[in-house]
Structure 1
Amino acid sequence: MDTRCNDITTRNKNEALCNACLIPIKENMRFYKCTYECNFVLHEWCTRLTTELKDYKIERDQLRHFSHRHPLTLVYLQQPNHNADDEDEEEKEKEKEEDFVEEDHHGGQCEMCNKEIWSFHLCYYYCKSCNYSLHKFCAELPMTQQNHPSHPSHILTLSNLVQSRNNFYFRSTDGTWKCSLCNLMWKNIYNYHCSICNFNMDIICATMSEQKINHPSHPHRLERMSGPIVSGCLACGNKHEGEFFQCTNCPTFRINLDCALLPTKLLIQNHTNGTYTHSHPLTLAYSYPHSEIISKYYPFCRVCDGKFYSHLWIYKCDKCRYYVHVDCATSKREPFMSIFLHESLGKTFKNYKEDEHPNLLHCPFPDEDDNLLKHHMSNQMEFISKQHDGEMLNHPSHQHPLIFFNEQTSVDKKMVSLHDPMKRIQLLCDGCVKPITTVPFYMCCQYVDEQCCFVLHEWCAKLPSQVQDYAGHPEHPLSLLPKIPGKFFGVFKCSICELQSNGFVYGCITCEFYVDINCAFIPKEITHDAHPDHLLLRVKPSTNLSKRYCKACQYSVRYSELVFHCPSCDFYIHVQCALLLPKLIKHKCDKHPLSLRYEPVENHISQYFCEICEDEFDPWEWFYHCTTCAQSMHAACGPLILQCEQATYAYDQQSVYRFLNVKFGGTLEIKGHSHRLAFVQGLERDGKCSECDTKLQYEMIFKCLECEFALDYKCASSFVS
């Protein structure tokens, strides 16, 4: 034996305990005893096992180990390979799905060091009948070590005895002992000890230089660092307390044990109690190249809404544009960090009671026929219905009497067509500039002769004359005006949604503060499907929130701008994005209704192209999509129902169509041109303004339908001023 006790004799003794297997040496058993006064004894067979342990293997990767009475079998932790050459791609994908497991396999707990046997250990020894496992490096440890770097002066002996006192081995009452290197307390595990110095060293510390792993995230082998530390992790980017692995060639590469053990695939809902769900398995990626981040329009984490960094690990879906931080996917954030985190984007718990909010507005509105003004006036419909003054109404906004059009679709045997985008029929209310899709409504008595196309929703004809204590302008009441005095063609810019409008207006002439009639009735609180179960409060930020952005259009929230905000989640939506984008729209480019989407569509990994303008777009901004036809379009391109040609999307605007509140139509006569000019939206084929030579595409213009003469809005107004 490789020991200082080289004078060994054999004798019989029935009260000694074998230092290797800890089985008592009974009468008539042969054993070895140290001739010095250290009471070191070994069974005869334990001596043979010790000297031959490194090479003592029997058939089929089996091992006889002194710590267990049965042979141990070597078990490999490598995943099976299903990439046979004769398999087609469809079969490979099927087998891949069937072979999917939530966690990588591992071998339980090692009986010698009490540490887990993980997948990166590649293999381990196992006794199936006893459920007994050993790390491969633990099973092959020598019984003694000489000149160990941590204790070179004496020989260290492997045992599960605790230490010696007065040259006698003993066990503590609870089986605990302290490692002389890491100062950690251990219980009932093997250690290397020196009986002369009362020096004890756990197996992990004793074999630290040998505990190296091959991890797929790094080209070099990683070495286990001694003892638990607090350090940053290059896998997740966070600070962790615990065990780390470090590259000896690249000292800056250091990953936490939890990250090193991350499964290559997982189902996110299994790690987050169903709070965040996705139907497909997510794959672990050890980097997220910056070029790919750019090409995917800078996506945000689906759990915390945070940014991604190219050098950090992520989980991503191979079938969808679903990306998530590794610690978000596995809910492995450090506990002390939780106080700095706001509630995330997953399943939320309802923070209000329905009966306490009887008139709560639920957005988005179901379709284009529904809108804020309709909901606001619905509580007054009984009052409105009593105000009908026969079948005729003289409204201050129009010079002709209005007919109450109800339950019929014809007047004097002439058909009146309701708004229908599928048939390219447009009927917009002159008050709110929203579609009229149902009866009743008011129409000009001269409408049937096509002399005047003035129409009003029933509720728009009965609007209150003033709005008191308006949130955006509490200094003065706002008065209802059919048109703003002096505004060319009645076009003005709403002070709330900042969209152009030529409908009715509530305004303060003294302060020159004007809002369209929809924005005059913005509620104090709403709910929205993009952030379900949480109340969104109407706020007007008093400080700069340039780092906060609207979830719909990704534009920043500006100072003194009305927005809807969830204070518990720091969630923002512009009022126009929340109130002006319906859940469903109809468009002549698709025979099915298109639904409003708040994030990339499931089972759609490729690029997104708008069917209207044919440009690629960012799916992290809200858009409309038909799942049946797999067609998508910008939210701003959706309302373009009367013309459909390339490049009709106004890029400088947010997700709301730029001229959503403008009713085009009517004509203008100017000096110097023999034909009347039609009020329309500029298209690419309209070229440039005949006066100032600016491009007319995306602008409000006046153009001649008989020649190529056209003016932009500003130049046309100067001709008549």
Structure 2
Amino acid sequence: MKKKALSDCDACHEEAKDYSYVCTTCDFWIHKSCALSPSIIPNPTYHHHPLTLVYSIPDIHRYFKQYCGICHKKVYKSYWVYYCHKCTYFVHMKCSTSTVSMGNKDEADDSDNESDLVQFPLPSRESMFDIIVAQCGKLKVDFQGKGENSDTITTIPNDPFIIEKHWSHKKHPLQQLKFTISQNCDDDSDDDNEVLICNGCIQPITVSHPSYYGCIQCDFFLHSFCATKLPQKLPVGASHFHPNHSLLLQMKDKFYDFVVCGVCNYSTNGFYYHCQTCDIYVDIRCAFLPSRIKHKSHNHHSLVQRPFFNSRCSISGLKFTTKNDMAYACESCSNFQIHLKCVFLPSSLEHKYEIHPITLRYPPFFYEGVFYCESCEERVNNQELLYHCTESEHSYHFYCGFWLNTIKLGAGTIKVLIADKPHTLALVLKRSTRKKSACSCSHCSTTFLLPRFFYECDGCGFLACSNCTAKLLGEKQRALL
């Protein structure tokens, strides 16, 4: 029976002033346009494979929320939907007629002379430091000789063998040293301690940049570049994130004192730039991020850094949680953006559980059947970023394979007295081993979902959350994200 629509369509679940087909026995309504939809879209402009009309989301894909590949809004399990089984790709009925072009992801468009843009993802964890060095060099060239700004670029002209009193570590002299492979920890050590970590940029000190300054007494280390070449002041206009005021290079006196970066919203106990007028902090990594980049997941257009414009990252599904969250977005494709945290993910990782390197894969990632993260043993969603080893066929959530290093662990200890018992606390990161894993503070008994930073006593395993640690020290609570 065909009659004027009076209810929501049972196929697309939208009301429309259109004729509908109705089953009076089942009270089933369907728009005429939905009923006449083709069973297959052989050559969609927005996807590489044909799409098949299915009448609900297949059971195997109901473990995760699914989103439309065009509008990025949720696809409900009872909706009719167009589906690519190879890619686990879904498109709403109303979006299926879109003329959006998927572009050519295999060939970059160099028509805008953008071949000199930095290509992300970076090859490895260590590559972020290369970006800092390169972008700082460009800044020096751009502002060289520009009046009062010209003397802000270099802190120490030459690399002396001894720095008697560095502005970031006035307790003891810093001696110039050279990193060697033998300084790596044993293979069984935690991933976060594989190499020395610079107290300034919180990036590894490796053989690619072996010169560094160290205070062995305090376990305080700085890349030679961070110690002598970072600008003490970023002039007005040097930071595209905060161009209206100058920014001063600073560091908190205590390792457990943190600031929250206004760009990535992560806490740091390393170097940062501070706007005294606006009280905005920018950590070193974010201070030297390019304003425009190329990214492998969207290789046909460049991406520009700007505030996010919808709620989710296009490649990871991460939600943007605050109005200040930054993204790299495409100015040509109105619906594509990458969360800033996902930009930092390296393209390849050495993982302690793998013989071969694991590589970063972008959605849609074709994999027949269900697969699980080798680290936390929970299911992996192939519609989100993931790390995968082709040789072993092992996969990892991107957040299980990589931790964004913005806080230096083991940078010092705190001595406190609790119930007349002394404890020496060090900053540690407790990671999740299962979905919604939790850990409790030994002092206040509050349970926290992991991953989470705690202060741990090496002698007895006593754990204190950041709130309790601040109270024990009699100091104001500090942000620790």
TM-score range, shorter chain: 0.7 to 0.9
Following the alignment from structure 1 to structure 2, what is the Cα–Cα distance between the partners of residues 252 and 701?
A: 56
Could you tell me which residue of structure 1 aligns to residue 413 of structure 2? 667
Residues 1:459 and 2:218 are matched in the alignment: no
Report the secondary structure of 2:205's partner residue: coil
Contact 1:234–1:312 under 8 Å retained in 2: yes
Distance in 1, Cα, partners of 2:356 & 2:116? 31
Q: Which residue in the other structure is 1:373 paired with? A: 132
* Shift, 1:357, TM fit: 3.5
Q: Please state if 1:530 is matched with 2:297.
A: yes
Number of matched pairs: 437
Write the distance in 1 (CA, Å) between the matches of 2:116 and 2:300.
15
What residue is the counterpart of 2:390 in the other structure?
Answer: 627
Whether the 8 Å CA contact 1:243–1:257 is kept in 2: the answer is: no
Q: What's the % identity of the aligned pairs?
A: 30
Matches within 5 A, 1:44-443: 252-253=29-30, 255-256=32-33, 259=36, 262-263=39-40, 268=42, 271-272=43-44, 276-278=47-49, 283-288=52-57, 295-302=62-69, 305=72, 307-310=74-77, 312-318=79-85, 320-325=87-92, 333=97, 343=100, 345=102, 347=104, 353=110, 356-357=113-114, 359-371=116-128, 372-377=131-136, 379=138, 387-393=157-163, 395-398=166-169, 399-405=172-178, 409=180, 415-417=182-184, 424=191, 425-443=194-212
Is the 1:421–1:586 Cα contact (8 Å) retained in structure 2?
Answer: no
1:463–1:588 distance in 2 versus 1, CA, 3 Å? same
Q: What is the CA-CA distance between 1:255 and the residue it aligns to?
A: 4.2
The change in CA–CA distance for 1:592 and 1:422 in structure 2 (over 3 A counts) is farther
RMSD: 4.2
Evaluate the alpha carbon distance shift between residue 322 and residue 272 of structure 1 in structure 2; reply closer, same or farther with a 3 A threshold. closer
Distance (whole Å) between structure 1 residues aligned to residue 13 and residue 115 of structure 2: 46
Deviation at 1:660, TM superposition (A): 2.5
Alignment correspondent of 2:445 = 693
Tell me by how many angstroms 1:393 deviates: 4.5
Deviation at 1:536, TM superposition (A): 1.5
Structure 2 CA distance for partners of 1:682 and 1:310, relative to 1, 3 Å: closer
Residues 651-693 of structure 1: CA distance to partner in whole angstroms, max 9, x if unpaired? xxxxxx4x62111102222244434222222468996434322
Cα distance between partner residues in 2 of 1:436 and 1:314:
50
Deviation string 1:91-111 (CA, Å, 9 cap, x unpaired) is: xxxxxxxxxxxxxxxxxxxxx
SS in structure 2 opposite 1:530?
Answer: helix
Q: CA deviation at 1:602?
A: 0.9
* Partner in structure 1 of residue 252 of structure 2: 484
Structure 1 residue 497 corresponds to structure 2 residue 264: yes
CA apart distance, 1:299: 1.8
Deviation, 1:480, is 0.6
Q: Which has the larger radius of gyration?
A: 1
Structure 2 distance, partners of 1:244, 1:526, is 49
1:316 & 1:531 partners in 2: Cα distance?
22
Aligned to 1:574: 339
Residue identity matched to 1:534: H
Q: Bigger relative contact order, structure 1 or 2, given CA contacts below 8 A and separation 6+?
A: 2
The Cα offsets for residues 210-254 of structure 1, whole Å up to 9 and x where unpaired, read as xxxxxxxxxxxx99x9xxxxxx997678999x9998879778445
Question: Which of 689, 710, 714 is the matching residue for 2:463?
Answer: 710
1:344 Cα deviation (Å)?
A: 5.1
Q: What is the DSSP-based 3-state SS (H/G/I as helix, E as strand, rest coil) of the residue aligned with 2:355?
A: strand
TM-score, length-scaled by structure 1: 0.52
Look up the SS of the partner of 2:341 in the other structure.
helix
Structure 1 unpaired stretches of 5+: 1-221, 226-231, 640-656
Candidates 310, 319, 338, aligned match of 1:555: 319
